[in-house]
Structure 1
Amino acid sequence: MLVVRPAGPADLDHLLELAILSGPGFTSLPEDPDQLSERLDVSRDSFQGALSPQERWYTLMLEESDTGDVDGVGSVKAAVGLKRPFFSLRLSNHTQSSPSVGVRLEHQTLALVNECTGWTEVGSLFLKADRRKGGAGRLLSQSRYMLIGAEPELFAENVLAELRGVFTPDGACPFWDHVAHKFFPMEFDDADRMTGATDKQFILDLAPRHPIYVELLPEPARAVIAKVHPQGVPAMALLESEGFRPNGLVDIFDAGPTVTCQRDNIRTVRDARPLTVRIEAEVEAELPALISTAGVADFRAVRQKAVIDGDTALIGRDAAEALKVKAGDVVRVKS
């Protein structure tokens, strides 16, 4: 059985393996044991409530309960941009016209902004290649929203997700090569690492001070603005199914899109119901349901069969063991 559970310091080897597999441009999964170790400490302290709500960064692991193998990772950062700026490029449309010569032009520009301060971010969604079918990705993705819905007051009213931009099969990034690198004369991996490990002052120091006209950029750069990395297309589809939509912001290095949704309008947050647990050896139900614990501290989630009867959820013994709940406890269920 697949179960989503909190990540902690003991998961360093698992998280490092996933970071290496994720490849370039996955800023929230750096191939740096020290950064990952610090992140896992933060995750532990977040689930234990040892940090103030806005400092919390919850990391979740997708685990095979029988073997203990970890196949994926996801996260929820309670608030971005409070201690370090959350920079993006805003893609804006402009119209210019000259009636005297009968010309009307549409232009797009990119400008550095810091617009999402205090927003909650869902991210770090990554699965091993052999787990990207059969619903594992959907379970891991939706578990983040079940976490938010368990105690929504711990999270911001607006939620965002950043998606990785386009890279070529040989690892090159067209937007970085033709645009961002002109302002950040370093390797992409170094800029990516510094984004996660520093106060981002280098971005403020070096980023363009004036809007960039998209029409003046080389075609390879124009073609990838607000486009998703091929590996991120399924993640984008999952986000859209929850109600997320592009908001006109893109990443400053790879031009991947940002999507947003109001917290209470996220489909899984809105539709999941708190129900009292009943347990039987086996449950007869046509389709499995998304089931999670009802609190953040002990959060766990599975997709298993459940029968809903009024305010009661009948679940199987295996599901109860995976969730670590007993009869009479409250779970949250989304059919």
Structure 2
Amino acid sequence: MRFIRPAGPADLEALMELAELSGAGFTSLPVDEPTLADRLALSAQSFGGEIAPTEAWYTLMIEDAATGRVDGVAGVRAAVGLKRPHFSFRVVTLAQFSSSIGTRFDHRALVLVNECAGWTEVGSLFLRPEARSGGAGQLLARSRYLLIGAEPTRFAETVMAELRGWVEPDAGSPFWDGVASKFFRLPFVEADRMVMSTDGQFILDLAPRHPIYVELIDPQACAAIGRCHRDGEPALAMLEREGFERSGLIDIFDGGPTVTCARDRIGTLARARRLSVRIDTDAGVDTALLSTTAVADFRALRALATVRENDVLISAETAELLKVRERDVIQVSA
């Protein structure tokens, strides 16, 4: 059985391995040990309540209970764009009309914006290729929402997710090559690394300040606007099933889409109930998504359970993995 738990400094080796497997363009998992070590330290502080709620960045691990191997990672940032801008391009339509010739033109353009300040971000979802079966991806993705649901006031009313943009098989990024590189003039891999390993001042200094007309962009880069990386398509589908929608925002480096949803309308949370635990040798035949109800020591898993009006029957093994006892309250979602 796989379960979700908080990540901390002891997970550095596993996180480095996952970062190396994730490949080019996975901005939130750079192959940079100091950056990932800082992130794990921040995760421990976040779960421990040692920092302000808006500064928290929770990192979750999915672990195989039988082997102890970490099979994947996901994250929740409580609030983006507060200490430094969180830039995106908004895809807008600029209408131009000439009364003298009676002609109207609608132009698509990319406009640099900072609209996401204070939003909660779910992201960093990555699984080992050999672990992408048996519902592991769904468990990892949905556990992020149950973490938010455990203590909603720690998180914003708007939740966003940024999907990795389209990258060619040779690791080339059409959007970077056709648009972003004209302003930053760095190799894509270097700029990608700097997003997480620096304070981002270079973005503030160099990002374009004026609209970029899409008609002037080369066709390959244009086709990549809002296009999700092939490996991110399952994640996008899961987000859409939860109620996330495209926002019209794209990443300024790779052109990947940003999707958003109101926190309380996320499907997993809308269906979740808080029920008292009953431990029974016969937990039932139906599978449910279960989690604890506190951010500290958060745990989640999918297991057999019998949901009743005021309580839920689970096995002793499930209770042990969740670290709950009889009569404790847990979250249960279909």
User: TM-score normalised by the shorter chain: which range applies?
Assistant: over 0.9
Gaps of 5+ in 2: none
Equivalent position amino acid for 1:106 in 2: D
Give the superposition deviation at 1:209.
1.7
CA distance in structure 1 between the partners assigned to 2:89 and 2:297 by the alignment: 37
Asked if 2 retains the 8 angstrom alpha-carbon contact of 1:89 and 1:112, the reply is: yes
Aligned to 1:316: 315
Aligned to 1:292: 291
Aligned to 1:331: 330
- CA deviation vs aligned residue, 1:275-313 (integer Å, no higher than 9, x gap): 000011232223x10000111102100001111111100
Q: TM-score, normalised by structure 2?
A: 0.98
Q: Does 1:268 align with 2:268?
A: yes
Give the superposition deviation at 1:52.
0.8
Asked if 1 retains the 8 angstrom alpha-carbon contact of 2:75 and 2:122, the reply is: yes
Q: Greater shift after overlay, 190-199 or 62-71?
A: 190-199
Equivalent position amino acid for 1:319 in 2: T
Aligned to 2:153: 153
Equivalent position amino acid for 1:301 in 2: A
Asked if 2 retains the 8 angstrom alpha-carbon contact of 1:162 and 1:259, the reply is: yes
Give the superposition deviation at 1:42.
0.5
Asked if 1 retains the 8 angstrom alpha-carbon contact of 2:284 and 2:313, the reply is: no
Give the superposition deviation at 1:197.
2.0
CA distance in structure 1 between the partners assigned to 2:59 and 2:32 by the alignment: 16
Asked if 2 retains the 8 angstrom alpha-carbon contact of 1:4 and 1:140, the reply is: yes
How many pairs are equivalent?
A: 334
- What is the root-mean-square deviation in Å for CA atoms of aligned residues? 1.1
- CA deviation vs aligned residue, 1:96-115 (integer Å, no higher than 9, x gap): 23455453322111011111
Asked if 1 retains the 8 angstrom alpha-carbon contact of 2:162 and 2:258, the reply is: yes
Equivalent position amino acid for 2:27 in 1: T
CA distance in structure 2 between the partners assigned to 1:45 and 1:270 by the alignment: 28
CA distance in structure 1 between the partners assigned to 2:50 and 2:270 by the alignment: 28
- CA deviation vs aligned residue, 1:214-265 (integer Å, no higher than 9, x gap): 0111000000100100000000001001111111110010000000111111
Asked if 2 retains the 8 angstrom alpha-carbon contact of 1:282 and 1:317, the reply is: no
Equivalent position amino acid for 2:197 in 1: A
Q: 1:107 aligns to what SS in structure 2?
A: strand
- CA deviation vs aligned residue, 1:117-170 (integer Å, no higher than 9, x gap): 111100000011112222110000000000000000000111100000000001
Aligned to 2:88: 88
CA distance in structure 1 between the partners assigned to 2:127 and 2:214 by the alignment: 34
Aligned to 2:129: 129
Give the superposition deviation at 1:179.
1.0
Asked if 1 retains the 8 angstrom alpha-carbon contact of 2:283 and 2:313, the reply is: yes
Q: 1:326 aligns to what SS in structure 2?
A: coil
Q: TM-score, normalised by structure 1?
A: 0.98
Aligned to 2:235: 235
Percent identity of paired positions between Structure 1 and Structure 2: 58
Q: 2:37 aligns to what SS in structure 1?
A: helix
Q: Greater shift after overlay, 99-108 or 196-205?
A: 99-108
CA distance in structure 1 between the partners assigned to 2:139 and 2:26 by the alignment: 21
CA distance in structure 2 between the partners assigned to 1:41 and 1:282 by the alignment: 40
Equivalent position amino acid for 2:149 in 1: G
Q: Does 1:115 align with 2:112?
A: no
